[in-house]
Chain A
Amino acid sequence: EAGVAQSPRYKIIEKRQSVAFWCNPISGHATLYWYQQILGQGPKLLIQFQNNGVVDDSQLPKDRFSAERLKGVDSTLKIQPAKLEDSAVYLCASSLDGELFFGEGSRLTVL
């Protein structure tokens, strides 16, 4: 069974630039999550999708972050404009019955 795919693995940008991350969940998993993991901290939920609908985006900084899952399968997370404090690993996870399966993550460095 293929796992959760994420790209790119690494991205370096300057502040105020934009960046997009892509996630393809495990086939058949209706629930998709984006987490932000800052160095030395645990993952923090940004947004949860159930199929193509948003379940919870209360912790998503909506002035600069956006996410979509248009066809209920893969998803993109965008940051525009990026700030220094956005430097983190962005983890995508999918689940079927509550157990989360994570991708390798996308490491963002904002200079």
Chain B
Amino acid sequence: AQSVAQPEDQVNVAEGNPLTVKCTYSVSGNPYLFWYVQYPNRGLQFLLKYITGDNLVKGSYGFEAEFNKSQTSFHLKKPSALVSDSALYFCAVRGWGGSYIPTFGRGTSLIVHP
């Protein structure tokens, strides 16, 4: 069975500093990985995905994520955080076969302080 772990319930960072939100995964075969962001009372919005190719994936709003196969990780990063980045972030994984159902982590609350 596939699974996602987001080890931090909350990440605090000062505006202008780099941020990292951690994600590790477990899946049979090669992974298809996603990051989504959720603002209060809103649905999930797609940020970026990794399918194959370059291990560094660039996405929306200046976010990027690094795929590390040996560590089964897909950490979300941004060089300079903004207060408006404060939101709930979800990592998701799915395999390449079967019903292609993405499994989500429990989410990490990112708080960017002015």
Chain A, interface SS category: strand
- A37–chain B nearest beta-carbon distance, Å: 9
B32 neighbours in A (Cβ, 8 Å) = 98
Instruction: Bits for B60-102, please: 1 = Cβ < 8 Å to A, else 0.
Output: 0000000000000000000000000000001010100001111
| Given A98-B94, A99-B49: A42 in contact with B106 (beta carbons within 8 A) | yes
Kindly list 5 other residue pairs between chains A and B, CB separation below 8 angstroms, not including A40-B107, A100-B44, A104-B42. A42-B90, A91-B43, A98-B100, A102-B36, A104-B43
A100 neighbours in B (Cβ, 8 Å) = 34, 36, 44, 46, 92, 102
A interface residues (Cβ-Cβ under 8 A, vs B): 4, 6, 31, 33, 35, 40-45, 48, 55-56, 91, 93, 98-105, 107
Q: Which partner residue on chain B sits nearest A103 by CB separation?
A: B43
B interface residues (Cβ-Cβ under 8 A, vs A): 4, 6, 32, 34, 36, 41-46, 49, 51, 90, 92, 94, 99-107
B36 neighbours in A (Cβ, 8 Å) = 100, 102
